[in-house]
Amino acid sequence: MTDGEELTLADEIVARARIHAREVREEYELAVDLGALEWTVSPRARRRAGLCRWNADSGVATIVLARRAYDHYDWPEFAGIVRHELVHAWEFQHFGESGHGERFRDRAGALEAPRYCEAFAEPRYVLRCLTDGCDWRATRHRASTPVKSPDQYRCGACGGPYEVEHAESGRTWTTAGGYGGAKAALGDEW
């Protein structure tokens, strides 16, 4: 039985990631306990291609993979992201903690996995000119002052006003007050 395409794609991502994890365990002798590892797919995540959560009480590591990253990357690159998260899972299982320190770097290097989670970074904010006929557009990863106070800056092409969009929610604002309101309204979703 199937619950539609959404589930099918998530199932496909998890199935491929699991197969790859078994290959990695054997080929690179990464002593990760796949039986104590859970997989899930985030349909919404835009900033991080993957992450690994650790429940110290249950000893279960959960690897979360972003569906958008699966769409965005070719499989060899996405497989690198899977290996990156597997190194986190391995660290959690053996040391109860994980980061991007020397131990992580060595392992990730041996697995030919990217060193940082941030490999996948869709812009968090999109700046868009409001002048008719001007298609100026810029992106920002951080809430810099042009993001927080668009009323103090101008379009980089025509000098007109622009709006800022919070890419994940689609909320837009054109003033510092609007930024504050959007941020407050979104709360944890920010």
By CB under 5 A, residue 113 contacts Zn ion? no
Least separation in angstroms between CB 17 and Zn ion: 15
Dist CA 161 CA 155 (whole Å): 6
Residue 61 or 117 having the CB closest to Zn ion: 117
**Helical spans, DSSP H, in 28-143:** 67-72, 75-95, 102-110
By CB under 5 A, residue 157 contacts Zn ion? yes
| Residues 50-79 within binding reach of Zn ion (CB under 5 A) | none
Number of residues that bind Zn ion (CB under 5 A): 9
Q: Is 161 helix (H, G, I), strand (E, B) or coil?
A: coil
Dist CA 115 CA 101 (whole Å): 9
Residue 10 or 129 having the CB closest to Zn ion: 129
| Residues 119-148 within binding reach of Zn ion (CB under 5 A) | 129, 131, 134, 136
- The residues, any chain, with a CB within 8 Å of residue 13's CB and separated by 6 or more, are 41, 65, 67, 70
By CB under 5 A, residue 45 contacts Zn ion? no
Residue 61 or 129 having the CB closest to Zn ion: 129
| Residues 160-179 within binding reach of Zn ion (CB under 5 A) | 160
Dist CA 3 CA 99 (whole Å): 36
Dist CA 34 CA 74 (whole Å): 24
Give contact residues for Zn ion (rule: CB under 5 A): 117, 129, 131, 134, 136, 155, 157-158, 160
